[in-house]
Amino acid sequence: MLFALIKKELLALIRDVHGLVALFLMPVLFIIIMSLALKDVYSPVIKSLHYIVDNRDNGQLADTLLTEWEKRHGKPQASSASWPDEVRSGKLSYALVIEKDFSKELVAEQPGSGKQLRLITDPGLESSVFSANNAEMIMIASELRAQALLAETRMSQLRMPQRLARPENNPSSRAPGVNVSVSAQALVGAERFAAGSRPTAVQQNVPAWLVFGMFFVVASLANLFLQERQCGALARLASLGVPTSMMIWSKALPYLAINGLQAALMLAVGVWLMPLLGGDALSLTGIHWGALLLVLLAVSMAAIGMALALASMVRTHAQASAVGPTVNILMAAIGGVMVPKFVMPEFMQRLAEFSPMDWGLEGMLAVLLRGSDMVGVLLPAAKLMSFATLMIIIAVLFFRRRAN
């Protein structure tokens, strides 16, 4: 009996070609994608960030600083008057702004209180990268100040009598008016374009896994569809003249409500539960609720459309249990849910733009981090709704065939 049952299971598995493809292809694709996505995770990601320079100082020290910065970070993007909007929207990672008095203030005895070198970043820039760039900017400015003061001190020594040219023993040999103990940090500042607080791991993970959770309705919907088809319920409804569109929407609307509950629950976890567990709180202060609802609706429609399309195409429960979750995991791996886009190499970031989960995640981050309004989320919402429309059309075509 045991061997007969094993034989039966093996025959069923061999005949389920789609299930076998998912079982073997999914781990291979997952290994490839994750390996590529994490290729640069152990090397500095700051070199791949797009940035712009706004140099308002014509001094030599400003040029020297930019030369040193380019050695470490690569060439900046072409200058544009609209760089604040590009940084705020995430098209540029940061802007390096050098004020007109930078060179003069850097070698002054008492630098002024105003920031002469500013790093203005995208609100969604990862905190460790933000801190690393800020620290590196302070370090370069401090080195330039020390070199400039040393050069000025040497020139002063050459003008002094030989008996006074011993700086290590004669403090008065320093250039007059210069205090080398003053740090360049007073001239350097870093800030974000943001409507709320600085981004945290919670602000990245809550929207990411919220999008992932919405798309995971595919398994539940597919299994329900198969049960109705196998028991003949769909055929009976079709014979009674129930329109296919009505049957489609009768399945989609309940899942819209489910996705709404998912979103409310996961946002509540970020706002109230995470602080109780010792984590950072998700800030919803000042966000545009209309834009958030639009993104959530678009994500939900895209998820349900894909679930309906896959449910209409699969033939067995094994396929439904394997294909749907596999597609979700691959989209999450590519789309910045499992691996944030900022640690991916350039070509993987370009690949991520083809994932519907990336569209949803970018829309969520635009609202939660960048304070975007309805206009700011129209593009990701339009992509998601177009994807949903395509998936629903595919679902209707296959649904009619299966129901008949």
The pLDDT value given to residue 167: 47
Of the candidates 187, 170, 192, 158, which has an alpha carbon nearest to the alpha carbon of residue 87?
192
Sheet holding 51-55, edge to edge: 51-55, 94-98, 117-121, 188-192
Distance, CA of 126 to CA of 199 (rounded, Å):
7
Query: Which of 112-116, 144-148, 308-312, 376-380 shows the highest mean pLDDT?
Result: 376-380
CATH code, 49-192: 3.40.1710
Distance, CA of 358 to CA of 363 (rounded, Å):
8
pLDDT digit string, tens, across residues 335-348: 888 877 777 777 88
- In the chain, domain spans: 19-39+199-403, 49-192
pLDDT digit string, tens, across residues 101-114: 887 887 776 666 67
Has this prediction a pTM greater than 0.75?
A: no
Average pLDDT, the chain: 76
CA 290 from centre of chain: 21
Average pLDDT over residues 246-261: 81
